[in-house]
Structure 1
Amino acid sequence: MISKDVLKSMACLLAWMLYRRNTEVAPRESRAYHGTTMQFRHLPALASGFLLSVSAATLPAFGADIAVPANDPWTGFYLGAQAGNLKGTGSDADFCITGALSPVSGCLGGSNNDGVPSGLDVLDNLLDGASAGGYLGFNYRLDRVVLGLEADLNWDHAEGKSHIPGDVTTDTSFGWDASFRARLGALVGERGLIYVTGGPSWLSMDIGSDLCGYFRSEYAGSAVDCGDSGTEFGWQLGAGAEFLLTDNISLKAEYLHGWYGNQDLNLVTVTEGAENLKYSYKQTLQTNVVRAGVAYHFGGF
Structure 2
Amino acid sequence: MISTVAGTLAWAALAGSALAADMPVKALPAAASWSGFYAGVSLGARWAANDWQTSDVSPNFGAGAFVPTAGTGGAIDSVAARFGGYLGYNAQISTSWVAGVEADFGWADNKKTTNPLPGTTGLFFGAPLIGLPTGTMKETWDGSLRGRLGYLMTPATLVYGTGGVAWQRLELNTNCTVVPGNSFCFGASHNETSATTRVGWTIGGGVEQMIAGHWLVRADYRYADFGTWTQTFFTAGGTGLGFDDRFTAHVKVRTHTATIGIAYKL
Question: Structure 1 length as normaliser, TM-score?
Answer: 0.64
Moved >3 Å (runs of 4+): 69-73, 96-99, 102-106, 212-218, 265-269, 271-280
Does 1 or 2 have the higher relative contact order (CA < 8 Å, sep 6+)? 2
Q: For the structure 1 residues 73 and 200, does the alpha-carbon distance in structure 2 shift closer, same or farther, using more than 3 Å as the test?
A: same
Mapping of 1:190-209 within 5 angstroms?
190-209=155-174
> Post-superposition shift, 1:120?
2.5
Retained in 2: the 8 A contact 1:132–1:154? yes
Within 1, Cα distance between the matches of 2:153 and 2:168? 33
* Correspondence list, 1:1-301, <5 A: 72-91=32-51, 93-97=52-56, 103-104=60-61, 116-121=66-71, 122-143=73-94, 144-162=96-114, 163-164=116-117, 165=121, 167-211=132-176, 219=188, 226-271=192-237, 278-298=246-266
Q: CA separation in 1, counterparts of 2:212 and 2:177?
A: 55
Task: Give the direction of change, closer, same or farther, for the CA distance of 1:251–1:212 in structure 2 (3 Å limit).
Answer: farther
Give the residue type in structure 2 aligned to 1:74. Answer: W
Q: Aligned-residue CA RMSD in angstroms?
A: 2.9
Distance 1:212 1:246 in 2: 62
Q: What do the CA deviations read for 1:1-53 (whole angstroms, capped 9, x no partner)?
A: xxxxxxxxxxxxxxxxxxxxxxxxxxxxxxxxxxxxxxxxxxxxxxxxxxxxx
Within 2, Cα distance between the matches of 1:74 and 1:290?
23
Relative to structure 1, the CA distance from residue 123 to residue 274 in structure 2 (aligned partners, 3 Å threshold; closer, same or farther) is closer
Q: 2:47, 2:65 → 1: CA distance?
A: 32
Contact 2:202 2:223 in 1 (8 A): yes
Query: Cα distance, 1:76 vs. partner?
Result: 0.7
Query: Residue type matched to 1:199 in 2?
Result: G
Shift of 1:209: 2.8
Q: Is contact 1:127–1:161 with CA below 8 Å preserved after alignment?
A: no
More helix by share: 1
Aligned length: 217
CA distance in 2: counterparts of 1:181 and 1:265, whole angstroms:
29
Give, in angstroms, the shift of residue 188 of structure 1.
1.8
Identity %: 24
Amino acid of the residue matched to residue 160 of structure 1? K
C-alpha separation in 1, matches of 2:99 and 2:238: 57
C-alpha deviations, 1:182-210, integer Å up to 9, x for none? 00000121111000000010100111134
The separation in 2 between residues aligned to 1:244 and 1:265, in whole angstroms, is: 46
Q: Which amino acid aligns with 1:132?
A: F
